[in-house]
Amino acid sequence: MTALNERKVAVVGCGFVGSASAFALMESGLFSEMVLIDVNKEKAEGEALDISHGLPFAKPMQIYAGDYKDAGDAAVVVVTAGAGQKPGETRLDLVKKNVSIFKSIIPEIAKYNTEGILLIVANPVDILTYAAAKLSGFPENRVFGSGTVLDTARFKYLLGEHLSVDSRSVHAFIIGEHGDSEIAAWSSANVSGIPIHDFCEMRGHFEHEKAMKEIAENVKNSAYGIIEKKGATYYGIAMSVRRICEAIIRDEKSILPISSIQHGENGIDDVALSMPAIVGRKGVEGLVPIRLSDKEKEQLKASADTLKKVLDDAL
Ligand code: 6V0
């Protein structure tokens, strides 16, 4: 068993998402060592060099391309390897390809690293988080997915724009699948403690139903729109990866909607999906039971059922 280096991160998969995440992590100053791993070693080497050349403007660290052995002492292993969505494809369409890639990657990681945290980013992230937990044999608190952290950021951004207020003062979650069945948890949404509808009215917006529908649809379809225009999404997820790593490494116990295996909460069992959770150095330290309306609970259950069907077919 290799002792962990608390200041080391490994990024597996150096495509758009992996390289953007590596760049964001370099800038974060959270780590002093980062290994990049990709089946295409040259790509990993190229990214490591390119990102290293920014170091004189950031904080010193070692960045290099390596293999799974080099990830043995990483405190966090970020897994972005896998095919991305093509225009028109859903995240669930990626299941077969990416589960098969995970069957080769995860046991390799777990062979050398037994103590670190596995942060799953590749899609469909909920299915792959479940698969990674089973394939690694790690305790479940140490295997979780970026889940709806990105969708929640999109939600806050859009609400911030709609209400002309700093998106960081918006408290609202997207929960469930990171994908088409996700749910905007409106009933608990607020701006600095003021219920969302009250704040909307303060800002001169009174057509709540219409605005809620438009904003939730916009969040859900964001990735499709970006992929249509530029072929992939990566900056938003890179910042999400950075934020999650920050919560872990600094033991912040921040509440983030990561994807983890559920055990009976809201009547959902043995499937990974996103609910707000406390994230710290031990990984997932507990779920936060935010208030949900009966309709939101039903939608969450339906989201879990969708994922469960895919899981049953995929694993
Ligand atoms: P990409 O640019 O095709 O990069 C994928 C990388 O993985 C490539 O460099 C491949 O060489 C590498 N790879 C493939 N197989 C292996 C393997 N067996 N071992 C090691 N490396 C391998 O895709 P992109 O970076 O755009 O997307 C990566 C994944 O992230 C996809 O599944 C996306 O759908 C997913 N995203 C997840 C998001 C989230 O919110 N969770 C957001 C955006 C994309």
Could you read off the pLDDT of 192-247 as tens digits, one per residue? 999 999 999 999 999 999 999 999 999 999 999 999 999 999 999 999 999 999 99
Q: How far is the CA of 221 from the centre of ligand 1 (A)?
A: 20
298 vs 176: CA distance, rounded Å? 11
* Pocket of ligand 1 contains residue 284 by CB under 6 Å: no
148 vs 141: CA distance, rounded Å? 17
* Pocket of ligand 1 contains residue 274 by CB under 6 Å: no
160 vs 170: CA distance, rounded Å? 7
**Annotated catalytic residue: which of 53, 162, 178, 208?**
178
Domain residue spans of the chain: 5-145, 149-314
pLDDT at 1 over 80: no
13 vs 241: CA distance, rounded Å? 14
The mean pLDDT value for 264-287 works out to 97
pLDDT of res. 91: 84
pLDDT of res. 89: 84
Q: Is the ipTM of this complex over 0.85?
A: yes
pLDDT of res. 236: 98
Annotated binding-site residue? 91:
yes
Give residue 2's pLDDT band: very low, low, confident or very high (50, 70, 90): confident
pLDDT of res. 87: 85
What share of the chain has pLDDT > 90, as a percent?
A: 94
pLDDT tens column, 113-131? 999 999 999 999 999 999 9
178 noted as active-site residue: yes
Q: How far is the CA of 19 from the centre of ligand 1 (A)?
A: 10
Q: How far is the CA of 64 from the centre of ligand 1 (A)?
A: 19
pLDDT at 191 over 70: yes
The mean pLDDT value for 246-274 works out to 97
279 vs 290: CA distance, rounded Å? 15
Token pair 């330290």 in the structure block, residue = 285
Average pLDDT score, the chain = 96
Tell me which fold the domain 149-314 belongs to: L-2-Hydroxyisocaproate Dehydrogenase; Chain A, domain 2 (3.90.110)
The mean pLDDT value for 253-281 works out to 97
Annotated binding-site residue? 121:
yes
pLDDT tens column, 42-97? 999 999 999 999 999 999 999 999 999 999 999 999 999 998 888 888 888 889 99
Annotated binding-site residue? 17:
yes
Secondary structure, 3-state, 22-52: HHHHHHHCCCCEEEEECCCHHHHHHHHHHHH
Annotated binding-site residue? 245:
no
For 59, the token pair is 């904080």
Q: At 189, give phi and psi (nearest 5°).
A: -70, 140
Superfamily name with CATH number, domain 5-145: NAD(P)-binding Rossmann-like Domain (3.40.50.720)
Fold match between domain 5-145 and domain 149-314: no
* Pocket of ligand 1 contains residue 82 by CB under 6 Å: yes
Continuous segment of H or E residues that includes residue 91: none
Closest ligand 1 atom, residue 236 Cα: 42
The pTM of the full predicted model, rounded to 2 decimals, is 0.97
